[in-house]
Structure 1
Amino acid sequence: MDKVYDYDVDKLKRGDMIQVMKDLFGEENVCNISTFNTFSNKVAIRDIGRVLNDKEDSPYKGMITPELRDLVSKTIPVIKKVDKDGNEIEIDVSLKDAIKGNDELQKLYKQYPMWFEYALKLSGLPKSRGCHASAIMVTPKPVTEYCPVCYNKDGEIMHQAEMHALMDDIKLIKMDSLGLKNLSIADMTLKFAGITWEDVDINHLDLNDRKVYDEVYKTGETVGVFQMESAEARRMLIEAKTDNIEDIIVVNSANRPGTKDSFPDYCHNKLHPYDITVIHPDLKRLFKQSHCVLLYQEQALSLLRYAGFPEVEVETGRRAIGKKKENVMRTLRPKFEEGLRKRNWNDEQIEAIWNLLLKQSEYCFNRGHAVAYALLSYLTAYLKVHYPIEYLTACLIMDEGTDKASTLLSEAKRLGFELNNPDINNSGMSYTPNQSNNEILIGLGSIKGLSDNGLNTILANRPFVSMTDFMTTAITMNKGDVVALIKSGALDSLTNKGKIDLFKQYYIARFNAGKEGKKPIKKANKTNIKQLFDMGLITPEQQDDKEYCTYIFNDHRMRLEWAKFKDKYCQGTELDWEMEVLNVHLSGNPFEGVYLPDWSKVNVEEEGWVGGVIINCKTNVIKNGKNKGKKMAFINLGVGDVTFDITVFANKYTQYIDLLKNGKCVVCRIKKDSEVKGCLQSIETLEDYLNRTKYVQEKYRKEN
């Protein structure tokens, strides 16, 4: 690879930056870069299964149903790792290993060997062409003089050749223009707060603000904080008792496969500076910046220089570490040992430091990159502490419609902000902060189930002065849109009679318009009148009053159809509806008045009960041991204003997989690790728990 330049930019302004590049280098000299997507294990299983199920001469014709394909695909594990930028990514495990590590897959493999054999051959092969998310190619002459081009799905030019061939063989320049969501969040926060980037210039910002460390990093309350939101990062911040920018840099660097094992040593050395053990005394000087622990690429390179390597060979080491080439690293060993012996290192010391250095080739973070990301992390934490409502609102806007939204909504409630239901007349597209009242108004665009067409119809016709006024528009909209609006509370300001009444008004409007079930009749005939008489709805004297009979018939039909409508769309409580369409409980707490044993009285290593809402559930694949290849999970449980981190091991994951869903109200029996951490022993829905403890709950309510 000849030249690669990386820079991060506000995600919402990435297009503007690319246009700047085109203005600088020429429109025809800048283009997107192709990527080649491969068949993952799951996709190979699904695609091969579909062909074998549909093909007439297949031995499995009609046997590999969509349900079976879906089941097998979901059973195949993936490994979740942190990439070089700290983002969680999924990586396929070997399909053979997945089959070996799962009894159900082994059984299916024996039943459908051809299906799995074909999938094994297909997995990893190119499937389709895509466009690189950040990379841009810059050429000295028009791109078409170097390679053929095509259009991506957005109608933009991209080259057709394989990326590394262009860089390594033709020596073209690639620029990585990565759009960072957190920069967009920071920019949005500044606008909400009425300040500018000059007010938070990182070159002049106080990096020793005690509130930032005490309220965010030391406590692990890092929801919305760049690079520090994962359970592992939070654990590391707490363990290090983070109180300075260097700690943040270290966590950002150490939360990687190649350096994570060194982190406990960093914490010990930082917190116990008079009890530091090093392989050789000289390392105290070489690794002083990180409390005598090898964490950064730059430190690894300084170690090579210390061993006498010239800069040309140091560069070889840098490339080996950067590209994870362990075989190249091993070629450096003889000279490395020789250089250290000249500095009076013994064989045991040399072996120990070499093994540590070799681990760098797995992945060691560049300190320069770590510093930049740590400073951005600090900036986001600073904004969260000093402009909390503006910052949380910006986070919600950028993560609208994602699984993370529920976590952010819970965080807003923890910080004491009032979350208000969407309002059909006052809500914008997204969230809006009200600093004076400490309120965040949820946007109409946050309502799950409200389509773009429905949203545009509302914006074009509002304001609505009453439910009757809204009904004129409602009957022209998709039914699902209006149902979502009612459940979200967006129409509450149009009535004081409650949501069931709103549903009924909407249903009657649709019935009268002939859009709901059986339509109203225009005039009762003899058959209709006989039906009414047989049901006892009219008297003999009323049979000749056609107008009255028509009214009674339509009223009876409407009531019957309303019962069906209500049964279909009005099941559950208003709290259930809020979680369904908004991912949060706003009008109350489902656990209010529920008795649970006092968690605070449970000792560490003992079992206790906690109840809450699952706000996030992440699965992982076990890499080693008897459960290798099986899945486990980590769930964040919202318990009042506190978030519990609960580990779900493989056997419990398999047993309770159907309950481990975001938004579920559950009661967990967990083995206590700390006040907010534990391992799952059992789990049940709140409804099942209340039924099981019915008499205890009744006694509790009477006493309270």
Structure 2
Amino acid sequence: MTELGKRIVNILQKKSSWESDKERLLKEIQQMEDLDILQDVWTRYERVQKNPDISGTRNDPNSLLAYYLDITKEKPEEEFKNEKRRTYGRDGWPDIDMDFCDDRRHEIVNFLVGKYGRSRVASIGTVQTLKSKAELRRVIKALDPEKSINYTAKKPDQSGNFALQNEILGTLPKILKKRDGTLLKNLQEVYNEFNEFAAYMRKYPQVFETAKRMEGNISSSGIHPGGIILSPVDLSTLCPLHTTRGTNEDGQAGASKAMVTQFTMQDVESLGLIKIDVLGVSTLTTIDFATKLVKNNYGIDIDLSDLPLDDPLVLELYNSGKTDGIFQCEEAGMKQALQQIQINSFDDLMLAVAMYRPGPKDYIPQIAKRKQNPNLVQYAHPIVEKHTKSTYGIIVYQESAMHIFVELAGLTPTEGYTFIKGAAKKKPELFMSMKARFIKGASKISNKQVAESVWRQMEPFQGYAFCAGHSYAYAYLSWKTAYLKAHYPVEFICARLTEKSRRRKTDIVYKYEQDAIKNFGITIHPADLNRSKLTYIKIGEKDLLRPLLIKDVGDKAAEEIIRCQPFDPDDLLYSFGMKVGGAVNTKIVEVLASAKMFGNIPKPKVLSIFEAIKAGRQKSKGRQTGNLKKGIKGTVKRRKKTLDLDF
């Protein structure tokens, strides 16, 4: 064991449960040393010690060591231990996925830059390639086969060209796939599959041939939403780089002077560099704000790392369909899936989270029937039962498939990893290459009929492989939000509304407000110039006050209004006009007047008075404040406005 390993063991020995978990912990440390990733774990441990509020999730629930070092607050279940991630023989570094409050992600990026150096840390670049429909539009526009555009005109009319684009693309479905459901890979396959489209291509052969040549070409570049690459040397010696535009100071992707690789994720991984996903998750921001509200309102510190996983209020919430704002459970289809399955345990929630995706969600009705009638569940072999009992006999998780593959066929963990890699990465050739070895090995332990039966059960798995560790992490994060909503609905809804309103997600804000009003009896009060802030505020037992983040009122204007609060309620408009600065212009005041923020004063009158106050303030610069009202009234009279000024 290395010196770092011994140092970590000394820390772990002080934990009360060390003896019971000693064997697993020592095994993890040894495997991480073999994979040369223990130093990264130690770096994360140091980071959490400095700032306990920042900790990652996602793959961490697979690691008992991460739990003991306080990197994650959820203790992993035995069945989800990280065997898949530690398999010997994998051809690259294991993924490191971490989720953080999205408004604090920049702290992590800055930490990495400070730790390893700016020249050794970069965001991962992405490229977008031309797909069938996009390239067809571009080619039709450029070639103009009907010669409908008059390029000599000052403003060429392109409506005819657009009409032809829509006419041709209207012959294709939204998703390009064959009748058996498999996706079409290229334009030639699209041509062979759809006769009406093929007729147009025969009419315009130049369009078809040009589009085929352009297929797969790079159309634009971008930045991976969370991918960060780390290098032991200056990155410019390994791959081409570029900097991004922007004015942010936090070093996030898209910010000023942020370094981005011109190589894609696969390219940088092939260089042997470490890729980590540092994702900003808005749900974590909501949870952080909600727990602070609970602390402020009730003096209660909620330990979200040790929630009861059989809480009846939480289970009732999942089954009620009132899951707006609950992580992973907001879509109408997911609400229906939860009610079909009937969530009676945390395992049921994990299953629902794993299954509600394209492909596996088709099995949800079957799972619901098996749950209601256990007699429908049949297992081909006791090993299959051992690993699929919690999922009602259906292979859902990558770990379950790998254990079945290894235990039933007597194959190595490396071969098991190759098997699930083919499934997870949707590489059918890699997946099917393992069939003969599985049938041969499983036939020795059982018989060929059982082996073929289990393989048939695993074949659909390649289309929807899901990591149990991810499912656990997602489900537990979902459980946290459901716990807060079930026990502290006003605080949770307040936090969720604030998070969405700060991002100007007006349609989602409306949905959440309707949920609050109809399902939880909460009254939403309109924004108030004197009391509203940048967040929703609890002003009664079941009363929330909207923030000043009204549509078309920018953050700077809202901050300026808040800075100038309070305003004289008896003379609101005058007090407002006298206090606010240049960030609040006439357009902002027009929006505020439309929202009845100045009471029942008609909008034209509000604007005239505000303009008069502005003009008076400009003219009266340097005068004594006592003469200011007189100057303002004089300005209004000279504009010949018929106003009833009540200053």
Query: Are the aligned partners of 1:423 and 1:491 in contact in 2 as well (CA < 8 Å)?
Result: no
Match of 2:428 among 326, 351, 360: 326
Query: Are the aligned partners of 1:421 and 1:489 in contact in 2 as well (CA < 8 Å)?
Result: no
Match of 1:422 among 500, 512, 527: 527
Query: Are the aligned partners of 1:420 and 1:441 in contact in 2 as well (CA < 8 Å)?
Result: yes
Give 1:297 shift.
0.7
1:377 — aligned with what?
A: 478
- Check if 1:311 corresponds to 2:413: yes
2:238 — aligned with what?
A: 146
- Cα separation, 1, equivalents of 2:269 and 2:263: 10
Give 1:263 shift.
3.0
Give 1:474 shift.
9.2
- Cα separation, 1, equivalents of 2:607 and 2:485: 44
- Cα separation, 2, equivalents of 1:429 and 1:72: 47
2:237 aligned partner, one-letter code:
E
Q: CA-to-partner distance for each residue in 1:506-534, whole Å, 9 max, x for gaps? A: 2544897999xxxxxxxxxxxxxxxxxxx
Query: Are the aligned partners of 1:326 and 1:358 in contact in 2 as well (CA < 8 Å)?
Result: no
Give 1:151 shift.
0.8
Note closer, same or farther for the CA distance 1:96–1:219 as it changes in structure 2 (3 Å cut). farther
Q: How do 1:114-133 and structure 2 match up within 5 A?
A: 122=214, 124-133=216-225
2:312 aligned partner, one-letter code:
R
**What secondary structure is seen at the aligned counterpart in 2 of 1:223?**
coil
Note closer, same or farther for the CA distance 1:242–1:275 as it changes in structure 2 (3 Å cut). same
1:201 — aligned with what?
A: 303
Query: Are the aligned partners of 1:423 and 1:489 in contact in 2 as well (CA < 8 Å)?
Result: no
- Check if 1:248 corresponds to 2:349: yes
- Cα separation, 2, equivalents of 1:406 and 1:102: 42
Give 1:373 shift.
1.2
Match of 1:335 among 437, 458, 462: 437
Q: How do 1:288-307 and structure 2 match up within 5 A?
A: 288-305=389-406, 306-307=408-409
Note closer, same or farther for the CA distance 1:416–1:107 as it changes in structure 2 (3 Å cut). farther
- Cα separation, 2, equivalents of 1:320 and 1:44: 30
2:157 aligned partner, one-letter code:
G
**What secondary structure is seen at the aligned counterpart in 1 of 2:396?**
coil
Q: CA-to-partner distance for each residue in 1:294-340, whole Å, 9 max, x for gaps? A: 11111111221112212221121122122111111111112222233
- Cα separation, 1, equivalents of 2:543 and 2:199: 55
Q: Which stretch shifts more, 11-20 or 237-246?
A: 11-20
1:438 — aligned with what?
A: 542
Higher percent of residues as helix:
2
- Check if 1:34 corresponds to 2:34: no
Query: Are the aligned partners of 1:148 and 1:160 in contact in 2 as well (CA < 8 Å)?
Result: yes
- Check if 1:218 corresponds to 2:218: no
1:450 — aligned with what?
A: 553
Give 1:213 shift.
0.7
Give 1:452 shift.
4.6
Could you tell me which runs of 5 or more consecutive residues in structure 2 were left unpaired when the two chains were aligned. Answer: 1-90, 178-182, 246-254, 616-636
1:270 — aligned with what?
A: 371
Query: Are the aligned partners of 1:423 and 1:490 in contact in 2 as well (CA < 8 Å)?
Result: yes
Note closer, same or farther for the CA distance 1:104–1:307 as it changes in structure 2 (3 Å cut). closer
- Check if 1:2 corresponds to 2:92: yes
**What secondary structure is seen at the aligned counterpart in 2 of 1:32?**
strand
Q: CA-to-partner distance for each residue in 1:333-378, whole Å, 9 max, x for gaps? A: 122222333344453x544432321222212111111111111110
- Cα separation, 2, equivalents of 1:227 and 1:187: 18
Note closer, same or farther for the CA distance 1:149–1:291 as it changes in structure 2 (3 Å cut). same
Note closer, same or farther for the CA distance 1:63–1:123 as it changes in structure 2 (3 Å cut). same
Note closer, same or farther for the CA distance 1:467–1:149 as it changes in structure 2 (3 Å cut). same
Match of 2:454 among 340, 346, 353: 353
- Cα separation, 2, equivalents of 1:104 and 1:490: 57
Q: CA-to-partner distance for each residue in 1:139-188, whole Å, 9 max, x for gaps? A: 112222212322122121122223312212x2111111111111111111
Query: Are the aligned partners of 2:560 and 2:580 in contact in 1 as well (CA < 8 Å)?
Result: no
Note closer, same or farther for the CA distance 1:452–1:111 as it changes in structure 2 (3 Å cut). farther
Query: Are the aligned partners of 1:8 and 1:179 in contact in 2 as well (CA < 8 Å)?
Result: yes
Note closer, same or farther for the CA distance 1:555–1:318 as it changes in structure 2 (3 Å cut). closer
Query: Are the aligned partners of 1:280 and 1:345 in contact in 2 as well (CA < 8 Å)?
Result: no
- Check if 1:505 corresponds to 2:605: yes
- Cα separation, 2, equivalents of 1:112 and 1:457: 59
2:267 aligned partner, one-letter code:
A
Could you tell me which runs of 5 or more consecutive residues in structure 1 were left unpaired when the two chains were aligned. Answer: 82-90, 493-497, 516-550, 559-704
Q: CA-to-partner distance for each residue in 1:451-496, whole Å, 9 max, x for gaps? A: 455435534554433234445689975554233212333333xxxx
- Cα separation, 2, equivalents of 1:22 and 1:193: 35
Query: Are the aligned partners of 1:225 and 1:381 in contact in 2 as well (CA < 8 Å)?
Result: yes
Note closer, same or farther for the CA distance 1:109–1:486 as it changes in structure 2 (3 Å cut). farther
Note closer, same or farther for the CA distance 1:110–1:336 as it changes in structure 2 (3 Å cut). closer
Report the TM-score, using the length of structure 2 for normalisation.
Answer: 0.67
Note closer, same or farther for the CA distance 1:43–1:200 as it changes in structure 2 (3 Å cut). farther
2:251 — aligned with what?
A: none
- Cα separation, 2, equivalents of 1:70 and 1:455: 44
Note closer, same or farther for the CA distance 1:510–1:46 as it changes in structure 2 (3 Å cut). farther
**What secondary structure is seen at the aligned counterpart in 1 of 2:602?**
helix
**What secondary structure is seen at the aligned counterpart in 2 of 1:218?**
helix
**What secondary structure is seen at the aligned counterpart in 2 of 1:295?**
coil
**What secondary structure is seen at the aligned counterpart in 1 of 2:464?**
coil
Match of 1:231 among 315, 318, 332: 332
Note closer, same or farther for the CA distance 1:433–1:116 as it changes in structure 2 (3 Å cut). farther
Identity %: 24
**What secondary structure is seen at the aligned counterpart in 2 of 1:234?**
helix
- Cα separation, 1, equivalents of 2:236 and 2:110: 19
1:32 aligned partner, one-letter code:
S
Query: Are the aligned partners of 1:217 and 1:237 in contact in 2 as well (CA < 8 Å)?
Result: yes
1:481 — aligned with what?
A: 588
- Cα separation, 2, equivalents of 1:413 and 1:261: 33
Match of 1:368 among 446, 454, 469: 469
Note closer, same or farther for the CA distance 1:197–1:438 as it changes in structure 2 (3 Å cut). closer
- Cα separation, 1, equivalents of 2:416 and 2:534: 54
Q: How do 1:673-684 and structure 2 match up within 5 A?
A: none
Query: Are the aligned partners of 1:37 and 1:127 in contact in 2 as well (CA < 8 Å)?
Result: yes
- Cα separation, 1, equivalents of 2:286 and 2:165: 37
How many pairs are equivalent?
501
2:157 — aligned with what?
A: 62
Higher percent of residues as strand:
1
Query: Are the aligned partners of 2:385 and 2:393 in contact in 1 as well (CA < 8 Å)?
Result: yes
Note closer, same or farther for the CA distance 1:166–1:441 as it changes in structure 2 (3 Å cut). same
- Cα separation, 1, equivalents of 2:558 and 2:497: 19
2:373 aligned partner, one-letter code:
H
- Cα separation, 1, equivalents of 2:195 and 2:589: 46
